[in-house]
Structure 1
Amino acid sequence: MLTTTTTKVLEPSDLDAALTVLDRDPVANAFVAARVRIAGLDPWRLGGEMWGWYSGGRLESLCYAGANLVPLCATPAAVRAFADRARRAGRRCSSIVGPAESTAALWALLEPSWGPAREVRARQPLMVTRSLPADVVPDPGVRRVHRDEMDVIMPACVAMFTEEVGVSPLAGDGGLLYQARVAELVSTGRSFARIEDGRVVFKAEIGAATAHACQIQGVWVAPEHRGRGLSKTGMAAVLHYALRDIAPVASLYVNDFNAAARAAYRAVGFAEVGAFMSVLF
């Protein structure tokens, strides 16, 4: 039994303890919690290691170390321990993302050895809703994307990702991993779009889902259709699917400088409950 303050890479036998930590904040932790509930803690299946920080023999904080480095329920002492482990391992992730306070502290410790970052988004409001919008009529044209529509949805997904992140998801492996992720969302019924004349006008995905909460991502309106309120009516439609079929709480996080998106989300009932931070490499 661990009786001192320490960190370790969690093993499959630590699953129940890890889920207990993740369930402390089911909204903020939805992305990682969804993966853990599907894949467990085996690094090969999870797509990365889960680091645990223990105090007095009890698991208190987590950090997912895969394509992203994600501190979860991380105390200041845990952040310092995770930073030490990350420095020793070297940077393997494409971003650091998580609750703003712990992510900022982690980046402050890692920046001298990992920096500079390509971009730091210091405050990304975390928004939540538990009810369907009362004043926005859902777009009846927004529906689940069909499995035979991958060639239709992929260009929109690539455009959204490139616009949002600043690099193309097709770089590196030619987009194989990204295409597999889009296909997974389509096949599980968590990709939604309004498609006109074979082209996507609006799209969004439910990127992570647990029994407690789901996280909406990838919201995008084709440039030539912007300014028509499609993000509001489209999001209202996606919320009907999310809250009816997926989970009792829907969340998302958005860049603080994207005033139009924040206003659209507020219009369909989202309220800010916290903030995330992203460090992009």
Structure 2
Amino acid sequence: MARWRPAVSSDPSRRGRPRPRARELRDVDVAEALAVCAGDPVASALAASRLEVARRVGLRAAGGQAWGFPAEGALEAVCWSGANLVPVVPVTLSAADRDAAVAGFAVLAMRSGRRSSSVVGERAGVLALWDLLSASWPVPREVRSEQPSLAIDREPDVEPDPLVRRSVLAEVPVVLPACVSMFTEEVGYSPVQGGGRAYADRVRALVSAGRSFVRIDETGPDGAPGQGAHVVFKAELGAVTDRVAQVQGVWVDPRYRGRGFAAPGMAAVVRQTRALPGGAAASPPVVSLYVNDYNARALATYRRVGFEQVGSYATVLF
């Protein structure tokens, strides 16, 4: 695959205009940052999920930094900088203000150097930020520039698979290999190469929090017994806010693909997530996800379940 490069790449401090300003936020700013995210809960779910953790335990303990624009006055845009770099630049801002916010975040990102494994979030903000960072950051492994963002806020249109349920800690030895297989297939390398303790801890944390859904069978694709427990379908709630639960890591064992497990499995995830919200929501959350535009089969499956496109994401992978 040809490596994507922007048509124009430059450091914002060299463009012959006043250097834009953004600032690192403090714990006292988190509530205001979350208010910015609330303008588009689905588009901002990744950043908001980390900010909600920060609201409970503080930014330092949340494992990243939060940046805000402008440097003084009421916040208009925010950016989470942690394992992922996630800009939240509302489309309601003027074009000039959007450009200034992105440029301000780019300055802070270039100062700190690349520490994130991806730049991800609402498409326009991600691609504009990457346009500025690409001059100084390493060439990415891949840029996924069009990822439809889908959501559902009602009962699914497909009857849920009754065998899909939340996994339990005792099943982590069975769930983890499925998660590794999904990640390797999706991203192109194993998350446990060289040890992978952090990834295993992440899977365990999702299971412990009730955010891992599985169908586990002990028969093979042909129904033969004695195959040992193995995951046929799985999905996780990778980002949860008080209004949105974002599904990630959807996977069907390759031996079972094309046999109708995906749509009922996703329907089960939707129903169970809305019945038992994973965040602090008082009402059922919107269930969302994003998917590569070239994955026609997945898009068709999600639409069959009842998901509708509400926006677009983009991801720059390192």
User: TM-score scaled to structure 2, two decimals?
Assistant: 0.83
| Deviation sequence 1:99-152 (CA, Å, 0-9, x none) | 110111111111111131110100110001111123x21111111101100000
* Structure 2 equivalent of residue 144 of structure 1: 166
* Structure 2 equivalent of residue 242 of structure 1: 273
Aligned mates of 2:156, 2:210 — CA distance in 1: 22
* Structure 2 equivalent of residue 178 of structure 1: 199
Q: CA RMSD in A?
A: 1.6
Counterpart mapping for 1:5-84 below 5 A = 6-40=21-55, 42-54=58-70, 57-73=73-89, 75-84=98-107
| Deviation sequence 1:195-243 (CA, Å, 0-9, x none) | 0110000000112222211101110000000001111010011111111
Aligned mates of 2:50, 2:133 — CA distance in 1: 25
Q: Which amino acid aligns with 1:89?
A: S
What displacement does 1:55 show? 6.5
Which structure dedicates a bigger proportion of its chain to strand?
Answer: 1
The answer as to 2:251 corresponding to 1:220 is yes
Structure 1: segments with no counterpart, 5+ residues: none
Matched-pair contact (CA < 8 Å) for 1:132–1:268:
no
What displacement does 1:39 show? 2.7
Matched-pair contact (CA < 8 Å) for 2:30–2:54:
no
The answer as to 2:305 corresponding to 1:268 is yes
* Structure 2 equivalent of residue 127 of structure 1: 150
What displacement does 1:259 show? 0.5
Moved more, 198-207 or 27-36: 27-36
Counterpart mapping for 1:184-223 below 5 A = 184-197=205-218, 198-223=229-254
Query: How many aligned residue pairs are there?
Result: 276
* Structure 1 equivalent of residue 9 of structure 2: none
Q: Which amino acid aligns with 1:248?
A: P
Aligned mates of 1:9, 1:115 — CA distance in 2: 23
Which secondary structure does the structure 2 equivalent of 1:87 belong to? helix
Aligned mates of 2:212, 2:35 — CA distance in 1: 29
Matched-pair contact (CA < 8 Å) for 1:98–1:277:
yes
Matched-pair contact (CA < 8 Å) for 1:216–1:251:
yes
Which secondary structure does the structure 1 equivalent of 2:135 belong to? helix
Matched-pair contact (CA < 8 Å) for 2:22–2:71:
no
- List structure 1 runs of 4+ shifted beyond 2 angstroms: 38-44
Structure 2: segments with no counterpart, 5+ residues: 1-19, 91-97, 219-228, 278-283
* Structure 2 equivalent of residue 168 of structure 1: 190
Matched-pair contact (CA < 8 Å) for 1:201–1:222:
yes
* Structure 2 equivalent of residue 92 of structure 1: 115
User: TM-score scaled to structure 1, two decimals?
Assistant: 0.94
Which secondary structure does the structure 2 equivalent of 1:58 belong to? coil
Asked which structure has the greater CA Rg, the reply is 2
Which secondary structure does the structure 1 equivalent of 2:297 belong to? helix
What displacement does 1:35 show? 2.1
Percent of paired sites with the same residue: 51
Aligned mates of 1:33, 1:171 — CA distance in 2: 30
Aligned mates of 2:129, 2:138 — CA distance in 1: 12
